[in-house]
Amino acid sequence: GEDVEQSLFLSVREGDSSVINCTYTDSSSTYLYWYKQEPGAGLQLLTYIFSNMDMKQDQRLTVLLNKKDKHLSLRIADTQTGDSAIYFCAEMAPGNTPLVFGKGTRLSVIA
């Protein structure tokens, strides 16, 4: 079955880099995603990576995928107070199937 695990909390100082980690169990996952949830808001897609890629960079965001270890990470450079939110990792099995989400990592940015 599919399972996605994340650490629950992360605290960083403003200006530092944040690294949020995720592990998943389904080796057939085709795409992996990072969503952001701010208080009182819906889930917003940040980025996604195809399973045959190792890395994807988008401005301050860097996604690293280690398919062998089934490990995904999201690095946020120069973390700002506006980055404080809950970050969800999600995976998709082949066939355009529904996404399976982790429990989320709450990122707190200290000014």
Partner 1 sequence: GAGVSQSPRYKVTKRGQDVALRCDPISGHVSLYWYRQALGQGPEFLTYFNYEAQQDKSGLPNDRFSAERPEGSISTLTIQRTEQRDSAMYRCASSPGTAGANVLTFGAGSRLTVL
Interaction site with partner 1 (CB under 8 A): 4, 31, 33, 35, 41-45, 48, 50, 88, 92, 96-104
Q: Which is nearer to partner 1, 40 or 111 (CB)?
A: 40
Question: From the CB of 99, what's the least distance to partner 1, in Å?
Answer: 6
Q: Which is nearer to partner 1, 97 or 108 (CB)?
A: 97
**∠ at Cα 47 (45, 50), nearest 5°?**
125
Q: Which is nearer to partner 1, 47 or 73 (CB)?
A: 47
Question: From the CB of 72, what's the least distance to partner 1, in Å?
Answer: 14
Q: What whole-number distance in Å separates Cα of residue 95 and Cα of residue 103?
A: 23
Q: Which is nearer to partner 1, 88 or 109 (CB)?
A: 88
Question: From the CB of 79, what's the least distance to partner 1, in Å?
Answer: 22
Q: What whole-number distance in Å separates Cα of residue 78 and Cα of residue 98?
A: 32
Picking from 91, 77, 101, 81, the residue whose alpha carbon sits closest to that of residue 19 is 77
Q: What whole-number distance in Å separates Cα of residue 91 and Cα of residue 24?
A: 8
